[in-house]
Amino acid sequence: MGVILIAVGTALAYLIAYNTYGKFLAKKIFLLDKAAKTPAHELEDNIDYVPTKKEILFGHHYTSIAGTGPIVGPALGIIWGWVPALLWVLLGSIFMGAVHDFGALVVSMRHRGKSIGDVAAHVISKRVRIMFLTIIFLVLMIVIAIFCLVIAKLFDLYPQSILSIWFEIPLAIWLGHMIYVKKKHALTYSLIALVLLYISVLIGAHPKIYEALRMGSTGGIGPVVIWSVILLIYAFIASTLPVWRLLQPRDYINGHELFVAMGLLALGVLFSHPEIVAPAVNLHPEGAPPIWPFLFITIACGAISGFHSLVASGTTSKQIRVEGDARMIGYGGMLMEGMLAVFVIIAVAAGIGMATGQAELSGVEAWNSHYASWAAAKGLGPKVSAFVNGSANLLTGFGIPFGIGITIMGVFVASFAGTTLDTATRLQRYAVTELSSSLGLKPLTNKYVATAIAVVSAGLLALHDGKGAGGLLLWPLFGATNQLLAALALLVITVYLAKKGKPIIYTIIPFVLMLFMTGWAMIVQLKGFCCKNQFHLMAIDVIIIALEIWMVIEAFIVLTKKKTASGSE
């Protein structure tokens, strides 16, 4: 009964927040105007600027911001107990993450769909633009490296997902053609695509099929490295295509896939009645860093994530048809991601302990096999399998075989990771183009050159050790830099609101909290990188901390001038 109350209670809390706090922000703070001309119409080019129905854009935005972040983060952060994890996801998403996403989307719309880094130049200073774009470049380089390896590792762990993930690409191209060229009904054809995807899931679950697709080592090169190279080549191609041809329809399919997965998990909770086997609070797990501040950077997506500001201001703001759609997509999208994170917490806190006849361990023993210590939960395999196996256990509660459940959830995780990889590569192309333009490096502003820089830099970071383990070492730094980016995006939104004469308390409190937590964590991590002689990570950490301090000083000067000017009027 406990897990049912958790699921229903959080869903009601999110629904109430959307219709109260979200509506207040839309009407009183951001002043959304349905009659305003959006960048999608003003700069329509049928490539990046494409007026899009809110239902389709919600799917694109949601699947882009989600990725595996709200899965991996909560699956690791729960080591400090399910209560702290749940509270941070619930309160963080309502009062911080959703405000951050909504605000980034609005300020980008009001600046011709420019990235949050480019917007910083307008609302703070031109110097800040280069600093912010540099931080964005470093963050996205880490994101592409990590999620490339996440998918490669998923293919290695769950070869059942390989067929469906690659089949989804031509399926998405077909869907984009039917919607935008043939002008067919988007919902009808996307549901047809979804059915075809799940047929491929059933086919891919057959042992003869997935064993035939399982990648082995070639010439001493492991499967994770081979898959990573293939995925980076794919990312280059996908991110240079018009957004409507692959990225947007794929995200629309994934959006429906998300609702199916969440519906299945909800049914699993309802029918299985699993008992929570995770500790409510565990402040001192063996070998783990302190809960303060590391809970707040370990669980990013699902509570608040700086990557979301890049999606909101990078692709989503270029496709908004009407300003009024921004509340559903920005604020509502973040709450939906929070709900996904809640299901992840339930799956790893309760589902993982179910005795399904397939699991070797059950109850607290199953929990301890993944979370006995920080080292036990640290690897990508245990984190992902904790969610996938726990979810498959839940699905057995209403008749879905464990093997099919594994495939459904494996495809679900890999699909979302693929969306993040696609979107992050496209966003990195924008970042490289804008940064090169600022520095007067015109040849690097070419779409294909900028994309090549994005892919190659991330590939070198991910595969520098030749084994495909490099990007996994970046997860702690990713968490800190990602949350720092969220703080800086909130800073830009705060200055924007101050210049408009609107209350800033709703953004400045989240900004201060995230700046403090991430700064604290990055200093602690810097000591660790130094002790382990991880000089490349140490260099990235130092550069980002220095740019962070400079940006905050620049923003403080602007806010002080604004306050002085207001006082003299």
CB 104 within 8 A of CB 313: yes
CB 488 within 8 A of CB 307: no
Cα dihedral across residues 277, 282, 286, 288: positive or negative: positive
* CA 280 to each of CA 82, 123, 288: distance values in angstroms, whole numbers, following the listed order: 5, 44, 16
CB 318 within 8 A of CB 39: yes
Q: Which two tokens stand for residue 477?
A: 């730094």
HEC letters along 70-124: HHHHHHHHHHHCHHHHHHHHHHHHHHHHHHHHHHHHHHHHCCCCCCHHHHHHHHC
| 186 CB-near residues (< 8 Å, 6+ apart) | 53, 55, 56, 179, 252
CB 74 within 8 A of CB 299: yes
Q: Which two tokens stand for residue 483?
A: 């949350």
- Residues 343 and 341: their CA atoms lie apart, in Å, by 5
- Residues 47 and 318: their CA atoms lie apart, in Å, by 10
- Residues 34 and 132: their CA atoms lie apart, in Å, by 30
**2-568 has which CATH code?**
1.20.1740.10
- Give mean pLDDT in consecutive 10-residue pieces for the chain, a chain of 569 residues: 88 98 97 93 89 86 80 89 97 97 96 88 83 84 86 87 93 93 90 94 91 84 90 92 85 84 91 90 88 90 92 91 96 95 93 71 79 67 78 91 89 84 88 87 92 93 68 67 89 93 95 91 83 79 82 81 56
Q: What angle do CA 150, 248, 49 make, to 5 degrees?
A: 125
pLDDT at 569: 44
Q: Is 33 helix (H, G, I), strand (E, B) or coil?
A: coil
- Residues 382 and 93: their CA atoms lie apart, in Å, by 25
Over the range 438-451, which residues count as b (16 or more CB within 10 Å of their CB) and which as e? Answer: beeeeebbeeebbb
Cα-based torsion angle of the residue sequence 146, 151, 153, 154 in order, rounded to the nearest 10 degrees: 140
- Residues 503 and 506: their CA atoms lie apart, in Å, by 7
Q: Note the pLDDT tens digit of each residue in 39-97.
A: 999 999 987 898 998 888 887 788 778 777 788 889 889 999 999 999 999 999 999 99
* CA 144 to each of CA 147, 199, 429: distance values in angstroms, whole numbers, following the listed order: 5, 29, 12
Q: Which two tokens stand for residue 148?
A: 């490339």
CB 346 within 8 A of CB 302: no
* CA 446 to each of CA 70, 395, 443: distance values in angstroms, whole numbers, following the listed order: 34, 48, 6
220 φψ region: left (φ > 0), alpha (ψ -120 to 50), beta (else): left
CB 280 within 8 A of CB 83: yes
* CA 413 to each of CA 66, 167, 386, 394: distance values in angstroms, whole numbers, following the listed order: 10, 15, 12, 16
What residue has token string 């991430």?
A: 518
Q: Which of 159, 149, 251 is nearest to 210 (CA)?
A: 159
pLDDT at 321: 95
Q: Which two tokens stand for residue 100?
A: 């951050």
pTM value?
A: 0.87
- Residues 100 and 490: their CA atoms lie apart, in Å, by 6
CB 190 within 8 A of CB 252: yes
What are the domain boundaries of the chain? 2-568
Cα dihedral across residues 456, 461, 466, 472: positive or negative: negative
Q: Which of 341, 337, 332 is nearest to 21 (CA)?
A: 332
What residue has token string 């800190």?
A: 480
- Residues 305 and 65: their CA atoms lie apart, in Å, by 9
- DSSP-derived secondary structure letter, 381: H
Q: Note the pLDDT tens digit of each residue in 459-500.
A: 988 887 666 555 446 666 778 888 888 998 999 999 999 999
Tell me the CA end-to-end span of the chain in Å, nearest whole number: 60
